[in-house]
Amino acid sequence: MSSATLKKSAPADLQLATFYVGDLLLSLPIDFVQEINRNLDLTEVPHAPPHVRGVINLRGDVATVIDLRRILGLGAAEVTPQSRNLIVRCGDESIGLWVDRIADIISITPDGITPSPANISGADGRYFKGVYRTDSEIVVILDVDEVLSVE
């Protein structure tokens, strides 16, 4: 029962936090996002799965940071001045998503969401809930549960 699905049925606007991973403009319903930080001081974890970049100290807790590029099949992310951790709450755990650049927060009407094609810019479509076309760009809505379920 996420707030996203609740809002879908309501006529009210849906707020999306958008960000870039490679050339893809991805988004998440804003309620999922706990915080965005620049804590890129990762501790590598031996024998971790390839899509785990490492762990960070999130105010006294140890949070896993996931490399979205790896999950989407885009190759490992690079550290740039724009790199950020998007911390999402998932169950009782906070998990970081490593993104290349943070973009705007946009308001959309849920009616405008269309099903996503099987493949967008070489990324695996099963992690997408749908796409939304703005005037200039296509915003892909990420399926957080699917992304975080990768073992």
Partner 1 sequence: MSFDDPALLAEFVTESREHLADIEGQLLEIESNGADIDVDLVNQVFRAIHSIKGAAGFMGLIRINELAHALENVLGKMRTKELAPNSRIVDVMLKAADALSGLINDIEASNDSDVTHHVELLNEIYESSDVAVHEDEPVAPVVEQVEIAPVEETVEPVQMREEIAPEPVDEEPVVKKPAASKKAAAADHPATSRNASTPQVESSIRVQVGVLDRLMNLAGELVLGRNQLLQTVNNADGNSMQAVAARLDQVTSELQEAIMQTRMQPIGNVFNKFPRVVRDLSAKLGKQCNVVMEGGEVEVDKTIIEAIGDPLTHMVRNSVDHGVEMPDTRAKNKKDPTGTITLRAYHQAGKVRIDICDDGGGIDTRRLKDKAVERGIITKDRASQMSDRDAVWLIFHPGFSTAEKISDVSGRGVGMDVVRTNIEKIGGSVDIESVLGKGTTVQITLPLTLAIIPSMLIRTCGRRFAIPQVNIVELVRVRSSEAAQRISKVKGAHVLRLRGTLLPLVELDRALNFADSEEGLDRKDRPRQIVVVESGQFRYGLVVDEIDDSEEIVVKPLGRHLKSCVCLAGATILGDGHVAPILDVSGIAAKTELRTHEQEDLEDVNLAEVAGAAERQSLLLFTNAPQEMFAVPMSLISRIERIRIDQIDTVGGQELLQYRGTSLPLLSIDRYIKAQARPDMANVHVVVFQIHGREVGLIAADLNDIREVAAEIDGTTFREPGVAGSIVLDDKTIRMIDLYELAFTAHPKWFEDKPTAPVDEERVYNILLVEDSSFFRKQAREYLVSEGFTVVECEDGQHGWETLNHEGHGIDLVITDIEMPRMNGFELTTRIKTDPELSKLPVIALTSLASDEDQHRGAEAGVDDYQIKMDREKVLSAVWRLVAPKQKVRKSVSAKNAKPEGILS
Site residues for partner 1 per CB under 8 A: 41, 43-49, 51-52, 55-57, 60-64, 66, 93, 95, 148, 150-151
Shortest spacing between CB 74 and partner 1, in angstroms: 18
Nearer to partner 1, 99 or 113 (CB): 99
**By three-state DSSP, how is residue 139 classified?**
strand
Shortest spacing between CB 25 and partner 1, in angstroms: 25
Residue 111's H or E segment, with its range, is none
Shortest spacing between CB 39 and partner 1, in angstroms: 9
Cβ-based neighbours of 12, under 8 Å, separated by 6 or more? none
Residues listed for the chain: 151
Residue 20's H or E segment, with its range, is strand 14-21
Nearer to partner 1, 48 or 105 (CB): 48
Token pair belonging to 62: 């140890």
Amino acid type, 25: L
Shortest spacing between CB 99 and partner 1, in angstroms: 17
